[in-house]
Structures are given as structure tokens and as C-alpha cells.
Structure 1
Amino acid sequence: MSLGWKIHADGRSLAPGGSVAHDERLTWPRTFGLAVQHVGAMFGPTFVVPLLMGLDARLAVMMSGVTTIMFLLVVRGRVPAYVGTSGAFVGAVAVVRSQPGAGSAEVTGAVLVAGVVLVLAGLLVHHAGAGVVNRVLPPVVTGAILVMIGFNLAPVVADTYWPQDQWVALTVMVVTMVCAIALRGFLGRIAIFLGLVLGYVLSWVLDRVLGPITSYDPGVGRVLTHPRVDWAQVREADWIGLPSATRLAADGHEIVGWHLPSFSVAAILVMMPATVAVAAGVIGHVKAIGEATGTDLDPLMGRSVVAIGLGTAVAGSVGGSPVTTYGENIGVMAATRVFSSATFHLAGAVAILFGFCPKFGALFAALPGGVMAGSTVILYGMIGLLGAQIWKENGVDFGDLANMVPASAGVIIGIGDTSLRISDSFALGGIALGTIVVILGHHLCRALTPRGPRAGAGDEHLPRILR
């Protein structure tokens, strides 16, 4: 791909209804401003999700910049996208960490392997055509997987984050809702980030006015009196430097930066279902950009999945988070009508520069638990409801038992963390088992479904199993 972009005819601004193509750009100052806006649009999830995984947020930001540029090079700049931390892996990471002896090295080892699997899947899509994805993973399946991934995390909010400061959590949740709905344009796109900032400031003010809080401290696993905001690590951090290696915070909990991965078969199997959601999301991104620009980008679906797989593998190899394309940035493109790949090259460069500021990373590592609760209660629910949106937009018929039965069983298994013990040392459970049930169950039920009209006229609004 040539990195030379044509100057758009309007140069400094766009006429009503105009747009900037992937191989065009506005003036460099305006392009830089749009790049910073795209970095801001990804702030919420790209900073929050690594913390939920127990990984370093600053390293995740740096790798988001690196993998964004990698993505653009692989797709030759024809699919504009910002690549950030994937929330689809959060539930699987929580399951991995719950296994005896499993830690961040096992998490990132599984992330690396997931990236390799995505590369292979992308190559398959590229050579077999995008239709193979919908045949193997129809919307009823991909929707169920996202429902499991999101709702499986409800206990993390209820048991870990919310008890740390319920009133700050409630405030952050309400503010995030109001910002998402009431604000327009760019500010509405970064509602999660705005909620985090307000919650951070509120927690600091409450420490000064009311003093320390007595609540559950996950760092030690019991109720303690402690400040909501502890900036000891922020004060000690340098302004410029590489992301740090694994270290202990002042309260004793582990902050994991760059590290070499370790490989566990159990962890890898748990992580695999998330690759399905990521591949489906990337393909959806390509479809969305194609529709917005009026171009046929279907031939680039496989290449896009390969690019995300390469980015995930590279990030995992240095202890970073898995990555994916971001819907938030599609929203920014839709609002600005600027699809220039130059904007995203600059956005990646800005994110890399942020990654070289240790004080910046320490500031986010000190996020209070109540603030995390207010954001995650929405973020987790949104992940789950995206699955329901897939069902709705694709007209999934739950009156059809081939859809209803396996999806019902898989979702309950995934949300409830039901386990199937294979041996004394290995078990399948939660999202991994639920995904297997949905995929295999759907295709088995579809193969066994009789052809022809159904009985029970007049009660078509009910699933057949209830008639």
C-alpha cells in the first residue's frame, strides 16, 4: 500500500453530504485533530478492559497503536479502522484466572494462540469466501456467544467491584447513561470515559471530605478501611519510559505489564470461544464500512480477520491484551464522514506515544473499584445485549426449535458457569462449554429438523416446545 494520500477537494472542510475516501486526507492539522478524536473514542474500553483482565492498561494502549498500524498495512488501507482491546475475551480471562495456578502468563499465552487461530480463520474466509462464516456460525450462534460472554461477568460486578463503593458506582452508572443519551457527537461517543473521569474526581473529593472508606478490598480479599484513591504509584512513576514489567502495587495486588507468555491447554480451550465473537465482529465492521462508503469490501473480510489475528498474537507475545476493531470508531467515521486511513495511521502513532508515559498508565491503574463498578455494569451488559441485537437484526426465529433449544441450553451453561469434568485435572465449563453446546447443538438440531409445514395452527407465536 502506498502511504501517499490525495488531498481531498475540500481540503479544510467538507461540503454537506461529502466524505473523505480511504486514500484521501484533509490538511494535516485537521487530520491530526480527527486522529486524536479517534483515540478518545476508544479510551473507555481500551483502558477499562485490560484492567478487568489484570493486564497493564498503558501497554494495551501502546499495542493498540501498533496493531492499528499493522491492520492498515495488511488491508492496504482500504478498510479504515482503529484497533483496540477486545472485550469479548474478558469472561474467558476471568475463567482462566479462576483455575488453580493460572495467572497472567497463561492468559497472554492463550491470547497469542487465539491470535493464531484468528489468522487461520481469516485465511479460510479469504479462500473459501465470507459465506462459510454464516454457514458454520449463523447469527443464532454468534448472538448466543455474545450473550454468554457479557452476562457471565455479572458476578464480577456484584461480588468484586460494586461492594467497594456502592454510591460512587451508582453515580458513575447514572452519569454514563446520561452522557451516552444526552450528549451528541464526540462527547456521546466517549460516555464511558467521561463517567470514569467524573467517578475518579468524585472519589478523590470524597476522600478529602469524608475520609477513607470501610469496604471490601479485593487486593487483600477482606473488608478494610482504605482510601478510595491511592496515588502512591502515580507519584513514583516517571513521565517518560517503557511499559513496566510485572510488579506489586502498594496494596499488595499484582499489576502486570510486559511479560513472556506461558501456554496451558485448559486456558487455550477456554479462550477459543471468544475468537468466534471477534471474527464475527471484524466481518461486521467490514460490512458496515462497505455500506457507509458504498463500496464492496467483502473480498477484504478474510484479510481483515487475518490482520486482527496477527495483532492479537503480537500483543499476546509481549503480555498485551487481545485486540479487535471498534464500533465506537465506526460511529466517529459515520459522524464525520472521514474514512481516510491517514487519520488512523496518526491515531495509532498518538496511542504509541501515550504508551511511553508511565505516569499516564499509573493514573489509570489507580482507578477506584467503585468507578470500575459503575462502568462495568453497563459495559458487561452491553456486550451481552449485542448478542440480542444480532438476533433481532438477523430475524432469528426462536419459534424454531433448532434455534431455541441449543441456544437456551448453551446460554444457561455459559452464564451459570456450569462445568463438565473430563478428568481429575481437566474440565470444560462456562463460556467454553456453552459455545460448544450452541454450535454443535444447533447443527445437530438443524440436521434433524423435519421439512414441511408445522402443526399447531393458531399458536405460531409460541415456541413449538410449549405448544
Structure 2
Amino acid sequence: MTKRIIPGFGWSIHGDGKSIRPGAVVAPEERLNWFQTTGVGMQHVVAMFGATFLVPAITGFPPSTTLLFSGIGTLLFLIITAGRVPSYLGSSFAFLAPVGAATAQYGMSGALGGIFMAGVGLMIVGAIVHFAGPAWIQKLMPPVVTGSIVALIGLNLAPAAWGNVQEGPVTATVTIVAMLISGVLFRGLLGRLSILVGVVVGYVVAALRGEVDFEPVGEASWVGLPEFTTPTFHIGVMGLFIPVILVLVAENVGHVKSVALMTQRDLDPVTGRALIADGAATMFAGAGGGSGTTTYAENIGVMASSKVYSTAAYWVAGIFAILLALVPKFGEVIATVPDGVLGGAGTVLYGMIGILGVRIWVQNKVDFSHPINLAVAGVPLIIAIADYTMIFGDIELKGIAIGSLAALLIHHGLSAIARWRGTDVGFEDTEDDAALATPVNRDDLEKRDGDGN
């Protein structure tokens, strides 16, 4: 193996460097020749593109700044995890609702302060996981709780989607239809990029309808630094971003478990590092004006189809993202995406986030014949959809924060009472270390491994 100059850098050549033997995969510490590795890395950039740019487009953050910190965060992740976990860090949709609420109260800088604090919180959780192991996460957030928190974040965003749809109903409808059809019409990578395809189709329709202002694109330069913004910190945003930390924990742990299944390796020892790395990347983004990050399911799909799990490809992707961020004209093109397109994309994406929570329940066989599980799932969803609000001095808690807190308190509180009274606790503790959200379907991975594909 090539001697590593820094953690996560330096790879041995897989086979002849040109091909992959049937049934084999390119391991994280291996690579193909640089021509093919660069091609796979570019593919990863395409895979993350649609989802990563939708977040700044929806929140009003500078797209180029988000892309810059996405690339930097990816490289940071590879270094901190010592090249053991292939991953791209793109914009997290979990930040959409709290960023929107924080921006309305304190402006963009206040929202960035919340993102920064979320990164700090995630790093702290990662440090605890690194030294104590990840088992306690399963105890704190069993599948019924994790699913509820993920679902309520998506459903809480429904009014935001409707507000954008009203600005361009025809364009929004075309975007929705294009996203849905492309997901089943195309095969391979294009099929997995249904978000990007839908946005492109919607954008073209919006341009034809005169809904796109291209003047800022013409005025932008070809080369230059993106726009940076420093954060400000307000105690009132803390309640908005705490639930995001819980979702990021579930997403990152799920990503590590998915990669472990795909590469047939024990990555539990590096789970804490993955959380620390994403926390650090989110802190960097919040410090300079970018969107909070998370590990990306879209890029899991690229690895599954290409059989290339090499972290070298992610170094290529991260570096290319950074270079692309230094083209202001490119960022201005993204900033011209009209409200109708954003509304259509949001309708699909927010709904998918909500159903991802349901998928967590289904995958982990949560038993809803028990009243505690019903309460943990039902009450928080109503709180989030109605966007309940509670004010304690300078701290304002809204639907997502209250709903997430309710899910934890209902589960652990009612379960403690049930154990004390000797009644049916309504759930079964599980030792299954995979009982968290995973970016891909666990059963499908196991079937593919069994088939030798």
C-alpha cells in the first residue's frame, strides 16, 4: 500500500488499474488509474449537485459559498476519518426549516450562528461516540423516535413549499411531474438524479415563460471568491437547531453502516470520527456563509453502481467542487432558479423527507399496535405540521424543536412509567446496531452481496 502523507490520502492500485474483476470492488484504500478515478469523482459531483444547490436556492444563501464549504467539508471528512469512509458532504435538508425560521428572526447571520452551533453539538456527540461507542445512540433514539423526528422535519416544511408554488404554479407543476417521471423513466445514474432532472426541466420551462432574470449572470465575473458572511449568535436560535443534531447523528451513523455493508468492513470504530468530521464541516460552513452539511445518499448510489468505493474519487470530487465555487458566474446561474421551480422541488423533497421517517419505521418493524409507539409517532407530527410555538424569555421553540423534544419525552417518559407499573411498555429494546436510518435499503444490499454482484 502507498504510504499516506496525511490521513485519508494515498492509495494502492486496484488490479491493473483499468478494470474491476467480477464480484470485486475497489476498496476505500485503493484506486483505479487517475483517468478513471477522475471520471468517477466527476460523477459524484453530478450526483450531489441537484440536492446540494437546492438548499441555498431555497434559503437564499449564496450557492457558490455553499459549494465551496461542501468541497472543503468533504476533504476534511476524508482526513478526519483517515480515508476509511468514502463520503461526499452536501447540503443537509434538515437545516431548511430552522434556517428559514432563524433568518426571519435574526437574518442570515443569525441562521449561520445556528448552523455553527449545530456543528459544535454534532462534534460533541461524535467525541462521546468515539470514546463510549455508538450503542447509547440506539438507546436514546430507537427507530420509532428517529423516524418521528425525520418525518416531522419534512412535514413542517409543507407551507414553505406551497408559498413558492403559488409564485409559479405552472412551472411548479412541470417540475413536480418531471421529477416523478424521470425517477422511473431513466435507468442508472440519470434515474437517481431525478431531482436534478426535474429542476433542469422546470428551469427551462420557467425561462421560456419569462420567469428567469439572466441579468445577474451577465454581470458576474468568471473567476473570483464567493461571498462570505460571518455568523452572529443568539440564544433564541438554539431550540431551532437542536433537533437537527439528532437527525444528523442518524444520517451519519446510517451512512457509516451502509458503507460497512457495501464494503464488508467493520466501521463501528470510525463512527465517532464521522460525526466529528461532519460537525467540523458544518462549523466551517456556518462560520463563512455556507449551508450545514451531511453525508449524501446520492453518492452511495454512485458507489453501488460503479463498485468504486475509493476515497480517491472523493478527493477529486471535493477539489472539483472547490474549483467550481471559484466561478461566480456559475453561482449566479444557480441563484436565478425561480420560486416556481423551488416550490415544485420542495413539494417532492419535503414529502420524501417525511416518508423517509416512515421508511425508518417500516425497515425496523416498529409495532404500532402499542400505544406508546402510536403516541411517539402521532403527537410530534401534529405539533410539527401545525407549527406549535412556545416562548421562554429570549428562546422561542417552534414545531420542529417542540415535536422532537416531545418524541423523546413521550418515549422515555411513558416507557419509564410502564416499566414502573409493570404494564406493557409498548416497544422492545433492540440490540440491532443497524436500527437507524440508512441511505440505502439494507435488504437490497444484502441481496446484492449474496448474489456476488
- Aligned CA RMSD, in angstroms, stands at 1.5
| TM-fit CA distance, 1:406 | 3.2
CA distance in structure 2 between the aligned counterparts of 1:200 and 1:328, rounded to whole angstroms = 21
Q: Quote the Cα distance in structure 2 between the aligned partners of 1:384 and 1:406.
A: 15
**Aligned match for 1:369, one of 339, 347, 354:** 339
SS at structure 1 position matched to 2:397:
strand
- Preserved contact between residue 57 and residue 342 of structure 2 (Cα < 8 Å): no
Query: Of 185, 200, 213, which aligns to 1:230?
Result: 213
| Matching residue of 2:145 | 141
- 2:397 maps to 428
Of residues 107, 112, 118 in structure 2, which corresponds to 1:114? 118
Structure with the larger helix share = 2
Structure 2 distance, partners of 1:23, 1:155, is: 45
Look up the equivalent residue of 1:438 and give its one-letter code. Answer: A
Normalised to the residue count of structure 2, the TM-score between the two structures is 0.90
Q: Which residue of 1 aligns with 2:415?
A: 446
Moved more, 393-402 or 22-31: 393-402
Check 1:292–1:231 CA distance in 2 against 1; reply closer, same or farther (3 A cut): same
Q: Using the TM superposition, name which of 446-455 and 320-329 deviates more.
A: 446-455
**In the aligned structure 2, how far is the partner of 1:440 from the partner of 1:363?**
45
Q: Name the CA distance, whole Å, in 1 between partners of 2:58 and 2:207.
A: 21
Query: 1:205 and 2:174 equivalent?
Result: no
Within 2, Cα distance between the matches of 1:145 and 1:316? 23
Q: Does residue 1:33 correspond to 2:36, yes or no?
A: no
**C-alpha distance in structure 2 between counterparts of 1:338 and 1:406, whole Å:** 40
Match of 1:45 among 39, 48, 51: 51
Structure 2, gaps ≥5 residues long: 1-6, 427-453
Name the counterpart of 2:370. 400
Identity %: 41
- Deviation track 1:217-254 (CA, whole Å, cap 9, x = no partner) reads xxxxxxxxxxx00011101000110002xxxxxxxxxx
C-alpha distance in structure 1 between counterparts of 2:425 and 2:378, whole Å: 21
CA 1:74–1:453: 2 relative to 1, 3 Å: closer
Displacement of 1:98: 3.4
Match of 2:155 among 147, 151, 155: 151
Pairwise CA distance, 1:363? 0.3
Mapped pair 1:316 → 2:316: no
| Cα distance per residue 1:23-78 (max 9 Å; x no partner) | 11011011001001000000111000122222111111111110000000000000
In structure 2, do the counterparts of structure 1 residues 14 and 155 end up closer, same or farther at CA, with 3 Å as the change threshold?
Answer: same
The letter for the 2-side match of 1:14 is I
Partner in structure 2 of residue 241 of structure 1? 224
| Partner Cα distance (2:402, 2:370) in 1 | 23
1:307 equivalent in structure 2: 277
Given that 1:407 and 1:442 are in contact with CA atoms closer than 8 Å, whether structure 2 keeps it comes out as no
1:2 CA displacement = 5.8
Give the Cα–Cα distance (whole angstroms) in 2 for the partners of residues 4 and 262 of structure 1.
39
* CA distance in 2: counterparts of 1:265 and 1:49, whole angstroms: 24
Change (3 A) 1:453 1:49: closer
Q: 1:170 to 1:92 in 2, by over 3 A?
A: same
Larger radius of gyration: 1
User: Retained in 1: the 8 A contact 2:144–2:376?
Assistant: no
Contact 2:239 2:396 in 1 (8 A): no
Q: d(CA) in 2 for partners of 1:426 and 1:314?
A: 25
> Could you tell me which of 125, 131, 134 is aligned with 2:135?
131
Give the total of aligned pairs. 418
The correspondence of residues 342-381 of structure 1 with structure 2, limited to 5 A, is 342-381=312-351
> So what's the TM-score if we normalise by structure 1?
0.87
> What letter matches 1:329 in structure 2?
N
Q: For the residues of structure 2 that align with 1:327 and 1:319, how far apart are their CA atoms?
A: 24
